[in-house]
Amino acid sequence: MSIHITAAKGEIAKTVLMPGDPLRAKYIADHFLQNVKLVNQTRNAFYFTGTYNNKPVTVGASGMGCPSIGIYSYELFTEYEVETIVRIGTCGAYTTELDLFDLINVDAAASESTFAKYAWGIEGALIKHQGNAFDRINETAKKLNQPLKACHVHSSDIFYRKDAGTPAVAVENNCLAVEMEAFSLFANAKHLGKTAGTLLTVSDIIPTHRSISAEEREKALLPMMKLALEAV
């Protein structure tokens, strides 16, 4: 079966940062990495490899949702021998315990998705982060004096839904926020014995309908990008 990434073997670093948006991957490469090379643009999923503090790093898009990151992360882990993937992105808060611009280090992801069960026979709705990425992010945040919160998140396959309330799976697993990818990333890493973390910026407060403006978004995500790069 052909794969969805066309980088040559050796062009992907052992550590990968994965935003959902290919243009966000380009932004990180342009503003943070040195010696940058575009190594994949198939399906406009841009992947760039360069160095940060003299360490090789690849940054590349996951696309949206569990199926998309499930494909890309699996191929990175298996075809390119990647050891660590850290997803970076945004999330919506289910509660006013979180505020706009808060940074979240995801301890575990819960989902109604059947991805983990039918791909790898992993039962249960909750999967923890894998390996030491979570701890490295916490330690790096302390060194940088960067405020950081740890919590469970809901990885939903649904962006728009009829019922506005917090879904049962999120309530049952004490999920404070919702995103769309961490669950399948953690499932792949668990199955393959790899390292996976997720670092998120709160962009929306769902109960109060507050959100980050388009103008605020780029600046708001800079602390997350910096923390992820320093941690890996």
Helix, strand, coil content of the chain in percent (nearest 5): 35, 30, 35
Q: How many CB atoms lie within 10 A of CB 215?
A: 8
Q: What angle is formed at CA 191 by the lines to CA 189 and CA 192, rounded to 5 degrees?
A: 65
Q: Which of 21, 107, 157, 204 is catalytic?
A: 204
Could you confirm whether 204 is annotated as catalytic? yes
* Alpha-helix runs per DSSP H in the chain: 22-32, 66-79, 115-120, 133-144, 168-172, 182-192, 214-231
- Which run of H or E residues covers position 11? none
Calpha distance 77→37 (Å, rounded): 20
Separation of alpha carbons 173 and 225, rounded Å: 27
Angle between helices 66-79 and 182-192 (to 10 degrees): 30
Q: Catalogue the active-site residues.
A: 204
